[in-house]
Structures are given as C-alpha cells and as structure tokens.
Structure 1
Amino acid sequence: MSVPKKTFATLAAAIALCATSLGALAEAPRYNQVSLHAEVSQEVAHDLMNVTLYSEAQATDPARLAGETTETLNAAIAEARKVKGITVSLGSRNSYPVYDEKGQKITGWRERAELRLESSDFAALSRLTADLQSKLKLGNMSFSIADATRKKSEDALMKGAVDAFKARAQLLSDSLGGKGYKMVSLSVNSADAPRPVPVVRMSMAKADSYGGAPAPQIEAGTSQVTISADGTIEVQMP
C-alpha cells in the first residue's frame, strides 16, 4: 500500500517543527547570570637592566665611514664580552646622505649604529656603560622584570585572583538571596603597569675606583604585576 506524498510532506513538517522547538528550548536564555571582575596586584622590583649605546659619525667617504663604525663597534663588543653576565647584541644601523644647504648636492654621509647590553647585574653593567662611553654615546637606559621573575610572580598571584573572584561570586549570591551559584565561564589574564622611568644619578666619587668615567647610581624602580579574573556566574535561586 502506498503512502500519499501529502502524508510524507506533513510528517516531515511535523518532525522539522519538533526539532525547531527542541532547539529553541536548548537555546532558551538562562536567567540570573551576572558578570564579575576581580584582580590582585603585587609590586615587583625590576631585576633586568637594558642599555643602548650608539656610534654616530659623519664623513665624505661612505666606505671609510662604514669601516670606522665597524671598528668602533667591534672594539666595544670585545670589551663588553669580557664582563661576565652581560648579554651583548647589535641594534639598528643605518647610513644616510648629508646634503648642502640647497638640498641638491650630497656633501657627506652620516652613519649611526647601536650596541645593546642587558644584564641582571646592575653594578657590572653600570660600570661597563661608563667605560664604553669613551667610544660610544648613551642612547637609552631602561629597567624591566625578567621573564622568569614575572612568571613566578604571576603564578603566585593566580590562585589569589581566582579566590577573590569566588569570594565576590559568593557575596553576590548571598546579596541576591541565592542558595549558591554555578560557574558559567572564567578567564584569567595578566598585566603589568610600569612605573615612571627611574632616576639615574652620576656618582663622581666612585670614578677612580675602576679607572673609568663616573658610574651611574641606579634606582631601578618597580612594576605592578596584576592578575585579573573575569567571568560569569549563574545564581541559583531557592
């Protein structure tokens, strides 16, 4: 016995309607959901010092200028590598023409090359920086938190951030008269807020202790490492 095509069409429509209803039920809005934010912070001392030194000179012969710049850098690198605990790397290097007053004729060439130094031994890098300034100019001195130190601080703060989130969630649930809450979502993120650039003061009294230029007294400063917890809870009402 054959079933009319109209019956098949009606049955298919009924199944589709049922599936749509079940889907709508599954996607029905969930009530009593609240978004929360909590964070914990800690001041962490900078333990990494970064120094950028540079050579800058001008000459009419670009090849000779490049050679002299390379010699200056090589001499500085050789001196820096003698100091233990110093990471040495080359920064940017560029050369560009110098024009006459009318801007039409090249009268010379100017070249600038950087040498970057990094160390957790502030005293050693400070002395080396002072010594190298007989060959190079000081471009920048900055301080930061080493990766290992940052990770250790973040790991220590992570549990505190989650505990702070749970405490706020429980407080909110109690305030709304709930019997508890369910965690819907939670994300934990890290951030740090650098402090103003620390002061670098020159100490003339120590200049003769190692036969070089005055070494700067370092005030490295701190950064605030912060772990935040953001998420959504669903308050369970009686």
Structure 2
Amino acid sequence: MSIRLWPCIALSTALASPLATFPALAAAPQNSDTQQTIEFSANASQAAPNDLGVATLYAESNGKNAAALSKEINQRIGKALDLARGFASVKAQSGGVSTWPVYTKNGQGRIDSWRMRSEIRIESQDLGALSELIGKLQSDLALSGVAMQPSPETRRKIVDEATVSAIQAFDQRAALIAKTLGKRYRIVNMSIGDSGFHPPMKVRMQAAPAMMADSAYAPAPLEGGESELAVNISGRIELLD
C-alpha cells in the first residue's frame, strides 16, 4: 500500500505547483477588464474683433488684340499697385489673372475677341487708410468685395484664451462626473482643436457707371464687428477607487 501511495503523492505535489500560479496569471487581465473609463467633450468660444480688412479689386476689359488687351490691363493694375505703395499701413499684392476667348454668335466657333481680368488684393488693420485707398482705386478698378476678419495676431491670442477656458471646462466636467460616481479620476488622453472662425459675408459695393466719376474717391465705409472663435476638447478619463 505504501508503495502505491508515493506516486500519488508525487503527482499531487507536481500538480499543485502549476495550479498555484493560475490566480497570479489571471490577476493582470482582471484589473484591465475592470478599468472604468469615460469619454466626453467640452468646448469654449470667445469673440474676436475683426481688426483686419481685406479687399479685392479688379480690372476687366475685352479687345480684338490679345497683346494690346494684356498691356492695357497690366498698366491699370500696375498703376493701382503704385497708388497702394503710398499707403504705408496697407499691404497690397497682385491676385489672379485670367484671359479667355469670346466666340462669335453665328455658330461657326471663331474667336471674335478676347477678355481679360486681373485682380489686386489689399489688406490693413488701419481701416481708415484702407477705406481711403479703396475709394481712390475705384476710379479705375471695380470692387469685388470687402471682408472683415481677425488678424493672425488677434486670432492666436483669442484661441489661446479660449483653449485655457476649454481645458478648465473639461477638467471641471471630469471632476463632476467622478464626484457623482464617488470616484477619483485621472486624464488618460485629450485632443484639442479649434473650429476656426466664420467671418461675415463679403460686402459687395458697386456704383452705377453714371455715378462712378462722382463717387470714385468717396471712402468706403468699413465696420469691423466680431467673429466667434471656438476651441473643442475631446478626451477620456479613468475612474479610480
């Protein structure tokens, strides 16, 4: 009988050792499975002054001779750029240029003439100077539109301020959630992004041909207003005992 017992005892001992490790091996995934996380978002918005005016004006004409037409349009744009250089606080640059053929209407598809359009873009935080320049440029150019928006410096400043507010809002909401559930918390991850701004629609200002000579040098009325800048935060917190 004793001879038969020894193998059984040895077998029992051999089995006991690996079985004893099973709870330890299961411990790590068990903690991972019981981890409690919550995802949510928060945002903050702030008004930004539209302290930058941007205007687009253009010269457009048609003619039988493409080279002569190009010379005429380029001279008008060059004259406009020279005039803009006299306003130190205004930044000016040439814009898009396009030329296209005008076909005859008799169905033969022949080119009857050419049409050309060239733009100039001006911008400034000095709205008084910008308004005066727009008025003078309209003696020879047509005004496509004026838009008011925050300058890059103003936008960065307001976005930074809104970011601080959004982070505080996220943290406050995280604390509220954890407190309601009787837990502590830690932030696992956070994603921050701004939604940009939505400037007012471009204001189109056109004068009738008969009135152009009288109104050409009249300053264009400009009012900055405000744009709304928003910062959005999405993230995840882990609830702790």
Shorter-chain TM band: 0.7 to 0.9
Give the Cα separation in 2 of the matches to 1:236 and 1:117.
Answer: 57
Q: String of CA shifts for 1:202-227, please: whole Å, max 9, x gaps.
A: 9xxxxxxxx95222221222111112
Q: String of CA shifts for 1:53-84, please: whole Å, max 9, x gaps.
A: 00000100101000111111111110011111
Q: State the shift of 1:192 in Å.
A: 3.0
The match for 1:163 among 160, 168, 171 is: 168
Greater shift in the superposed pair: 85-94 or 211-220: 211-220
The match for 2:92 among 88, 93, 105 is: 88
Which residue pairs with 2:147 in the alignment? 142
Which residue pairs with 2:46 in the alignment? 42
Give the Cα separation in 1 of the matches to 2:62 and 2:203.
Answer: 32
Q: Which amino acid aligns with 1:189?
A: G
Q: 1:62 to 1:182 in 2, by over 3 A?
A: same
Which residue pairs with 1:124 in the alignment? 129
Give the Cα separation in 2 of the matches to 1:28 and 1:161.
Answer: 30
Equivalent residue runs for 1:1-238 within 5 Å: 25=29, 28-29=32-33, 31-103=35-107, 104-178=109-183, 180-197=184-201, 213-237=217-241
Q: How many aligned residue pairs are there?
A: 209
- Check conservation: 1:201, 1:218, Cα contact below 8 A: no
Q: Give the root-mean-square deviation of aligned CA atoms.
A: 2.5
Give the Cα separation in 1 of the matches to 2:159 and 2:99.
Answer: 43
- Check conservation: 1:199, 1:219, Cα contact below 8 A: no
Q: String of CA shifts for 1:103-161, please: whole Å, max 9, x gaps.
A: 41111100000011011111111111111111100012111111111111122222221
Which of the pair is proportionally richer in strand?
1
Secondary structure, aligned partner of 1:39: strand
Give the Cα separation in 1 of the matches to 2:111 and 2:204.
Answer: 40
Q: Which amino acid aligns with 1:32?
A: Q
Q: String of CA shifts for 1:170-217, please: whole Å, max 9, x gaps.
A: 100111121x10111012211233254376889xxxxxxxx9522222
Q: State the shift of 1:102 in Å.
A: 2.9
Q: Which amino acid aligns with 2:224?
A: A
Q: Which amino acid aligns with 2:130?
A: L
Q: 1:135 to 1:157 in 2, by over 3 A?
A: same
Secondary structure, aligned partner of 1:185: strand
Q: 1:137 to 1:57 in 2, by over 3 A?
A: same
- Check conservation: 2:147, 2:199, Cα contact below 8 A: no
Which entry has the higher C-alpha Rg, 1 or 2?
2
Give the Cα separation in 2 of the matches to 1:27 and 1:50.
Answer: 59
Greater shift in the superposed pair: 188-197 or 134-143: 188-197
- Check conservation: 1:194, 1:222, Cα contact below 8 A: no
Q: Which amino acid aligns with 1:129?
A: I
Q: 1:152 to 1:201 in 2, by over 3 A?
A: same
Q: String of CA shifts for 1:15-70, please: whole Å, max 9, x gaps.
A: xxx9xx79x93994463210121111111110111110000001001010001111
Which residue pairs with 1:4 in the alignment? none
